[in-house]
Amino acid sequence: MQKPAPVDYDVLEPIRERWSPYAFDREKPVEPAKLLSCFEAARWAASSQNEQPWAFVAGDRDNAPESWRTLFGLLVDGNKTWAKNAPVLILSVVRLHFEKDGKVNPTALHCVGLAVQNFVLQSVALGLSVHQMGGYDREKAREVLGIPDTHAPVAVIALGYEAPSGSLDDPKLRDRNDNPERTRKPLKEFVYSGASGWGESSPLVEPPK
């Protein structure tokens, strides 16, 4: 299903086309070459001091089933109900300190987000869909995956091909999946001038006259 973002200004096609479906095709695996392209896209993200503070734990129901089951087991029930059909599950992890001197990396999370967004947009360009999740057990993730204290789990990413909404058991999820509404705050609510205190919108995002 297409749910193109009702943008106010032009953006790249994969940005407009990306949305987070609940219905994934259980029978259609992700081609290994496509998965490699998505990780390659993540690899080429910019990062502070080229630290590349990201790591990923990847599970594929066919090709890395134990990892898939471990990641699936971390999800909250509400996410399990639909993510069970996603052929690929991935956990993003951040390294919180610089490798070279052990100092806190204050932009580490920003860099992981850049890598994940590269992954996501590459996947969309390849005809795949992604639904990211913060709803999972972080403590359990640390424990079962042996994530060291130097790192922190960030988000779980479900990747696969979209399926029709009818494949979802839960009628509420079907409705949510079918809901065509896409909403975002307008630019003036989050682009500020900084000239007269916090929160004053920037004249740069006034609509052109």
Footprint of ligand FMN on this chain (CB under 6 A)?
Answer: 19-20, 79, 132-135, 155
Cα–Cα–Cα angle for 134, 31, 44, nearest 5°?
Answer: 60
Can you name the residues that pair with 104 across neighbouring β-strands? Answer: 97
Q: Closest separation between CB of residue 112 and ligand FMN, Å?
A: 10
Q: Closest separation between CB of residue 26 and ligand FMN, Å?
A: 17
Q: Closest separation between CB of residue 195 and ligand FMN, Å?
A: 31
Q: Closest separation between CB of residue 33 and ligand FMN, Å?
A: 25
Contact assessment for residue 193 and residue 203, using Cβ atoms and an 8 Å cutoff:
yes
Residue 82: name the closest of 22, 135, 136, 137 by CA.
Answer: 22
When the beta carbons of 144 and 155 are compared against ligand FMN, the nearer one is 155
When the beta carbons of 143 and 170 are compared against ligand FMN, the nearer one is 170
Contact assessment for residue 8 and residue 206, using Cβ atoms and an 8 Å cutoff:
no
When the beta carbons of 6 and 134 are compared against ligand FMN, the nearer one is 134
When the beta carbons of 58 and 112 are compared against ligand FMN, the nearer one is 112
Rounded Cα–Cα distance for residues 30 and 160 (Å): 6
